[in-house]
Chains A and B, each alone.
Chain A
Amino acid sequence: MKRYIARRLMQGVVLLCMVATIVFFLGRLTGNPVDLMLPEDATLEDRAALTQALGLDGPILDQFAIFVGKAIHGDLGMSIRMRQPAVEAFFDRLPNTLVLIPWAILLGMLLGIPLGVVAAVHRGSFLDRAAGTVAVLGIAMPSFWLGILLIFVFSVELGWLPSGRMGGPAHYVLPVITLGTFLVAGFMRITRSAMLEVMESEFVKLARIKGLSEGVVIWKHCLRNALIPVLTLWGVFVGNLITGAIVTETVFAWPGIGRLTYEAVIYRDFPLLQAVIILKSILILSINLGVDILYAYVDPRIRLA
Chain B
Amino acid sequence: MTPGLMGSTVLEVRDLHTHFFLRRGVVKAVDGVSFSLRRGEVLGLVGESGCGKSLTALSLMRLLPKGGARTIRGEVLLDGENILERTPAEMREIRGRRISMVLQDPQTSLNPVFTIGDQLREAILRRKRMPRGEVTKEAVAALRRVEIAAPEQRLGQYPHQMSGGMKQRVVGAIAISGEPSVLIADEPTTALDVTIQLQYLKLLKRLQAETGMAILFITHDFGVVGRMCDRVAVMYAGRIVECGPVRQIFEAPQHPYTRALIASVPKMTGPVGRLTTIEGQPPSLMDLPVGCRFASRCAHVEQRCLDAYPDTVQVAREHTADCWKVTPA
Contact = CB atoms under 8 A, between A and B. Distances in A.
Interface in B241-297: none
B113 to A, nearest CB: 5
B211 interface: no
A162 to B, nearest CB: 44
Nearest to A212: B122
A168 to B, nearest CB: 41
A214 to B, nearest CB: 8
Nearest to A224: B113
B113 A213 contact: no
B18 interface: no
Contacts of A210: 95-96, 100, 122-123, 126, 174-175, 178
Interface string B97-133: 1001101110011111110000000110010000000
Given A224-B113, A225-B112, A209 B92 contact: no
Contact of B109 (A206, A221, A301): A206
Nearest to B88: A214
B299 interface: no
A167 interface: no
B174 A299 contact: no
Interface in B140-172: 158, 160-161, 171
B108 A209 contact: no
B97, B112, B174, B178 interface centre (most CB from chain A within 10 Å): B112
Interface residues of B, number: 31
Contact of A300 (B104, B122, B158): B158
A216 B112 CA distance: 16
B95 A209 contact: yes
Interface in A201-221: 201-203, 205-213, 216, 221
A202 B103 contact: yes
Contacts of A216: 122
A207 B63 CA distance: 11
Nearest to A211: B96
Contacts of A213: 92
> Interface on chain A toward B: helix, strand, loop, or mixed SS?
helix
A55 B103 CA distance: 73
B93 interface: yes
A203 B94 CA distance: 19
B61 interface: yes
Given A202-B105, A203-B111, A203-B112, A211 B92 contact: yes
B61 A209 contact: yes
Contacts of B66: 200
Nearest to B126: A211
Contacts of A298: 113
A209 B63 contact: yes
Interface residues of A, number: 23
A225 B122 CA distance: 17
Nearest to A209: B101
A300 B160 contact: yes
A212 B103 contact: no
| Residue with the highest number of chain B CB atoms closer than 10 Å, among A203, A212, A298 | A203
Contacts of B104: 202
A202 B112 contact: no
Nearest to B184: A209
A202 B108 contact: yes
B175 A209 contact: yes
Contacts of A207: 111, 122
B95 A202 contact: no
Interface centre among B100, B108, B113, B171 (most CB of A within 10 A): B113
A136 B101 CA distance: 42
Nearest to A298: B113
B110 A203 contact: yes
A206 B171 contact: yes
A304 interface: yes
A10 to B, nearest CB: 30
A301 B113 CA distance: 8
A208 B94 CA distance: 11
B328 to A, nearest CB: 40
A206 B174 contact: yes
Nearest to A227: B113
Interface in B64-108: 66, 92-97, 100-101, 103-105, 108
A300 B96 contact: no
Nearest to B58: A205
A203 B170 CA distance: 12
Given A210-B122, A210-B178, A300 B113 contact: yes
Nearest to B97: A211
A215 B161 CA distance: 28
Nearest to B158: A300
A203 B122 CA distance: 13
Interface of A: 200-203, 205-213, 216, 221, 224-225, 228, 298-301, 304
Interface of B: 61, 63, 66, 92-97, 100-101, 103-105, 108-114, 122-123, 126, 158, 160-161, 171, 174-175, 178
13 contacts: A203-B111, A206-B175, A207-B111, A209-B61, A209-B63, A209-B100, A210-B175, A211-B92, A211-B95, A221-B111, A300-B112, A300-B158, A301-B160
Given A210-B126, A300-B158, 12 more contacts: A203-B108, A203-B110, A205-B109, A209-B100, A210-B123, A210-B174, A210-B175, A228-B113, A298-B113, A299-B113, A300-B112, A301-B158
